[in-house]
Homo-oligomer: A and B are copies of this chain.
C-alpha cells in the first residue's frame, strides 16, 4: 500500500477526491461485492412526466455525499449520543446500471440485474434514481430474495400516489410503480406517506390502493398523528422496502426534482419516521429517486438526499447491532 493511503494520514476534505457515494470504495466487478450495503445508480429518466434530468441524480447525490464523509471513525450524533457508520459497516459503490436511450424495458432490466447482484452478495441494495419508475425493477429484483426470506412491506415517502395502472399503454412510467409493486405476491402491504395535491393518479387509484391494503396519509395527516402513531400503523417486525421520492419534501429543501409539489415534508418529519422504522423491523432495501440537479443550483436537493441516506443507513445498522447486542 502506498503511503498516499488514507490510513497513512490524508486529511481528505470533502471537496477532495473522486465522487463515489460517501467516498466509499468503487467495486466495478459485480461478482465481487463484499459489503453490508451496496449503492447502485439507476440513471433512467424517460418515465418522467414534467422536468427530466433525474439521470444525473446518482452523480449529484454521490458528489453531495462527500460533504458528509469527513467524520473519520464514523459520524457522531450528539442528539442521539451515538456514533453511526463506523468501520464495521461496509459500504461499497458499484456504479450505475447500464441505461439504453429510447429503451425502457432494456434499461429497467439492467437495473433489476444490478439489484439482484447486490442481493445475491448478501448486501442491502440502495438504489439512487433516476425517476420513480426505477422502483419497478428494484422491486422485481426481490422476487427470489422474498421467496427465500419472506415478503416485503413497502413504505413510500412521496408527494404522489404513483398508482396508475395503465394510461395510453404506459405501465412502467413514474406514475405506475406503486401499482406494479402491490401486484407482487411478495408485497403484502404498503404505507404511502406524504401524498398530497393533484397528480396523475385519479380517485379510482386511491380506492384501488386502499382496497389492496394500502395506508395513505398526507403530510398534514402524518403531522397530526405524530411520528409514533404513524409508525404504529406500519406492521411491526416486517421486512421493509423503503422508496423515497425526493418530491415528498417541501420544494423549499428539494427544488431539484421533476414534479415539485408544495406542502411537502420538512427534514425531521421524514428523518424521525425513518429512524423509527429502522427500530421497528428490517429494512432490506432502499431507493431514493427523482433528484434532478439541473433545477437546483444551490445543490440543496442532492445534499438532502445524501444526508438522509447516510443517516438512514446509519440508523439501520446501528439498530441491527443494538438488536444483536440485546439477543
Q: Give this chain's copy count.
A: 6
The answer to whether A262 touches B255 (Cβ under 8 A) is no
The answer to whether B299 touches A295 (Cβ under 8 A) is yes
In the complex with contacts A67-B259, A71-B202, A296-B298, A49-B14 CB distance below 8 A: yes
Q: Which A157-172 residues have a C-beta within 8 angstroms of B?
A: 161, 167-170, 172
A90 interface residue (CB < 8 Å to B): no
The answer to whether B2 touches A49 (Cβ under 8 A) is no
Of A29-37, A235-243, A273-281, the one with at least 4 CB within 8 A of chain B: A29-37
A151 interface residue (CB < 8 Å to B): no
- Which secondary structure dominates where chain A touches chain B? loop
A319 interface residue (CB < 8 Å to B): no
Total number of A residues with any Cβ neighbor in B under 8 Å? 117
Bound: A15/B84 CA distance, A? 32
A233 interface residue (CB < 8 Å to B): no
The interface residues of chain B lying within 8 Å CB-to-CB of A263 are 267-268, 271
The answer to whether B67 touches A101 (Cβ under 8 A) is no
The interface residues of chain B lying within 8 Å CB-to-CB of A218 are 78-79
A135 interface residue (CB < 8 Å to B): no
In the complex with contacts A45-B52, A67-B259, A250-B253, A18-B16 CB distance below 8 A: no
The answer to whether A68 touches B198 (Cβ under 8 A) is yes
The answer to whether A99 touches B13 (Cβ under 8 A) is yes
Bound: A203/B263 CA distance, A? 34
Bound: A29/B25 CA distance, A? 12
Name the residue among A26, A79, A202, A268 with the largest chain B CB count within 10 angstroms: A79
The answer to whether B303 touches A106 (Cβ under 8 A) is no
The interface residues of chain B lying within 8 Å CB-to-CB of A1 are 29, 31
The interface residues of chain B lying within 8 Å CB-to-CB of A252 are 250, 252-253, 300
Neighbour of A221 across the interface among B70, B79, B96, B203, CB < 8 A: B79
Nearest 7 A-B pairs (CB), nearest first? Answer: A255-B298, A252-B252, A75-B198, A46-B46, A2-B31, A52-B52, A76-B203
- Given A83-B203, A262-B307, 4 more A-B residue pairs with CB atoms under 8 Å apart are A15-B56, A52-B52, A79-B221, A262-B300
